[in-house]
Copies of this chain bind each other. A is one copy, B any other.
Amino acid sequence: MILLDGKATSARIKEQIARQVEEMVAAGGKRPHLTAILVGEDGASKTYVANKEKACAAAGFTSEVIRMSADTTQERLLAEVARLNADPDVDGFIVQLPLPRHIDENKVIEAIDPRKDVDGFHPENVGRMVLGLDSFVSATPYGIVRLLEEYGIETRGKHCVVLGRSNIVGRPIANLLSQKGNPGDCTVTICHSRTQNLASFTREADIIIAALGVPEFLKGDMVKDGVVVVDVGITRVSDDSPKGYHLAGDVAFDEVAPKASYITPVPGGVGPMTIVSLLQNTLKAASKRQGR
């Protein structure tokens, strides 16, 4: 069993990105700039945004966090999006989700200029990704593809079972891995809450992408020997520890790992790959804007 080490892999990619940034700057270019809008006080969101800021600094990007109160109106948020769309110093920006309930997330996402939409959530980027055109692929599926690529995992002709059909993970990764190329060319099955006899699919899978958000859902008897397992789940489960919780993936690691050929840990698997993919998208946006 080989561990798909997202922490080490992402650190390596981050260094590559940092080198490219220094080359850009040495050639007279501007450092890539990522702005994040954070609305409200959600604990997990604050942590994510702080991690993104840290990653930006490590890669030589400049960054800014715009903090807006939880009672910000949709109109006010849309005005901020419009301002960032027009700001020539901002290469890419994200609006950290989830947003407070009184704001229509789709409306906000659709207001982002697709060329600055480094989260890849805008319908135009989603459509371009699905059609196999150049686009910003959203960070989690992009990170998964990079991880498979870095470990040289053969995907061609393999049966990949995706657990979960969310717009931010399950659906895009199913589309990406069924496309031509490598990683890609998989026969892909997308399973979800309505799937009957789910284990009959996972037992036939060469590759499983688990993105249901149900802690330890995938058990040892649901996979075949030699399977490649990518665990996207990351749920806070309450416990008696000083922190009060621990992070659990969708995979019962101790049962599944002995049967797997490759498997991601949680944490330290897909998570760090996600952040580095956001950097990669921002670098791409900056390069395009600077015509490099």
A: which residues have CB within 8 A of B?
Answer: 106, 122-128, 130-133, 135, 156-159, 165, 167, 171, 174-175, 178-179, 185-192, 194-196, 201
Cβ contacts under 8 Å, A157 to chain B: 194-196
CA distance A179 to B190 in the complex (A): 10
Q: Closest Cβ of chain B: how far from A122's Cβ, in Å?
A: 7
Q: Closest Cβ of chain B: how far from A71's Cβ, in Å?
A: 27
Residues A192 and B171 in contact, CB atoms below 8 Å apart: no
Please give me the residue from chain B that is nearest to A172 by CB atom: B130
Residues A185 and B194 in contact, CB atoms below 8 Å apart: yes
Cβ contacts under 8 Å, A158 to chain B: 196
Residues B175 and A130 in contact, CB atoms below 8 Å apart: yes
Residues A130 and B127 in contact, CB atoms below 8 Å apart: yes
Residues B185 and A175 in contact, CB atoms below 8 Å apart: no
CA distance A195 to B175 in the complex (A): 15
Cβ contacts under 8 Å, A175 to chain B: 130, 171, 175
In this complex, which of A131, A156, A192 has the most chain B Cβ atoms within 10 angstroms of its Cβ? A131
Cβ contacts under 8 Å, A167 to chain B: 130-132
CA distance A106 to B189 in the complex (A): 28
Residues A187 and B178 in contact, CB atoms below 8 Å apart: no
CA distance A178 to B125 in the complex (A): 20
Cβ contacts under 8 Å, A171 to chain B: 130, 175, 178
Q: Closest Cβ of chain B: how far from A133's Cβ, in Å?
A: 6
CA distance A186 to B174 in the complex (A): 14
Residues B187 and A191 in contact, CB atoms below 8 Å apart: yes
Q: Closest Cβ of chain B: how far from A286's Cβ, in Å?
A: 22
Q: Closest Cβ of chain B: how far from A192's Cβ, in Å?
A: 7
Q: Closest Cβ of chain B: how far from A210's Cβ, in Å?
A: 15
Cβ contacts under 8 Å, A122 to chain B: 127
CA distance A18 to B126 in the complex (A): 35
Beyond the given pairs A123-B124, A174-B178, A187-B194, 8 more chain A to chain B contacts, judged by CB atoms under 8 angstroms and listed by A's residue number, are: A123-B131, A126-B130, A130-B167, A130-B171, A159-B196, A174-B190, A185-B194, A187-B189
Cβ contacts under 8 Å, A194 to chain B: 156-157, 185-187
Which of the residues B127, B156, B174 comes within 8 Å of A126, measured between beta carbons?
A: B127
CA distance A167 to B133 in the complex (A): 11
Q: Closest Cβ of chain B: how far from A20's Cβ, in Å?
A: 27
22 A-B interface contacts by CB (under 8 A): A106-B133, A122-B127, A123-B123, A123-B131, A123-B133, A123-B135, A127-B130, A130-B130, A130-B167, A130-B171, A130-B175, A131-B167, A171-B178, A175-B175, A178-B190, A178-B192, A187-B189, A187-B190, A187-B195, A187-B196, A187-B201, A188-B189
Cβ contacts under 8 Å, A128 to chain B: 123, 127
Cβ contacts under 8 Å, A195 to chain B: 157, 187
Q: Closest Cβ of chain B: how far from A204's Cβ, in Å?
A: 8
